[in-house]
Chains A and B, each alone.
Chain A
Amino acid sequence: MKHLLSISDLGADGIEEVMRVTDSFVEVSERAIPRVPALRGKTVVSLFYEESTRTRLSFELAAKRLSADTMNFTVSSSSVKKGESLRDTCQTIEAMGIDALVVRHSSAGVPWQAAAWLDCAVVNAGDGWHEHPTQALLDCYTLRGARGSLEGMRIAVVGDVKHSRVARSNVLAFTMLGAEVTIVAPPTLLPPSLDGWPVEVSHDLDGVLAKTDVVYLLRMQAERQSEALLPSLREYTARYGLTSKRMRLMPDDALVMHPGPMNRGVEIAADVADLPRSLITRQVANGVAVRMAVLFLLLGQVPGGA
Chain B
Amino acid sequence: MAERERAATPPYGGVFSARSQVMDAEDLRRAVTRIAHEIVERNHGLEGVVLIGLQTGGVPLARRLAEALSQIEGTQVPLGSIDVALYRDDIGLRPVIPEAVTDIPFDLTGLTVVLVDDVLFTGRTVRAALDALNNYGRPRAVQLAVMVDRGHRELPIRPDFVGKNLPTRHDEIVDVREDGVDVGEKRAR
Query: Which A residues form the contact surface with B (CB < 8 A)?
Result: 21, 23-24, 26-28, 31-33, 35-39, 66, 296-297, 299-303, 306
Contact = CB atoms under 8 A, between A and B. Distances in A.
Contact of A301 (B95, B103, B136): B95
A36 B97 contact: no
Interface of A, secondary structure class, is: loop
Interface stretch (B85-93, B155-163, B165-173): B85-93
Nearest to B97: A21
21 contacts: A23-B98, A23-B101, A24-B83, A24-B85, A24-B100, A26-B101, A27-B103, A31-B135, A36-B132, A37-B87, A38-B86, A38-B87, A38-B91, A39-B91, A300-B96, A301-B92, A302-B92, A302-B93, A302-B94, A303-B92, A306-B95
Nearest to A292: B86
Contacts of A33: 135
Contacts of A21: 97-98
Counting chain A CB atoms within 10 Å of each CB, which of B95, B98, B103, B136 scores highest? B98
Sorting the interface of chain B by its residue count into under 10, 10 to 19, 20 to 34 or 35 or more gives: 20 to 34
Interface of B: 12, 83, 85-87, 91-98, 100-103, 131-132, 135-136
A299 B132 CA distance: 20
Given A296-B86, A300-B96, A301-B92, 13 more contacts: A24-B98, A27-B102, A31-B136, A36-B86, A36-B135, A37-B131, A38-B85, A38-B87, A39-B91, A300-B97, A301-B95, A302-B92, A306-B95
A301 B92 CA distance: 5
Contacts of A36: 86-87, 132, 135
A303 B83 CA distance: 23
Contacts of B94: 302, 306
A26 to B, nearest CB: 8
Of B83, B103, B135, B136, the most chain A CB neighbours within 10 A belong to B135
A306 B93 CA distance: 10
B49 to A, nearest CB: 23
Nearest to A297: B97
Contacts of B103: 27
A35 B101 CA distance: 15
B86 A37 contact: yes
A35 B136 CA distance: 12
Contacts of A296: 86
B111 to A, nearest CB: 16
Contacts of A299: 92
Contacts of B86: 24, 28, 36-38, 66, 296
A299 B94 CA distance: 12
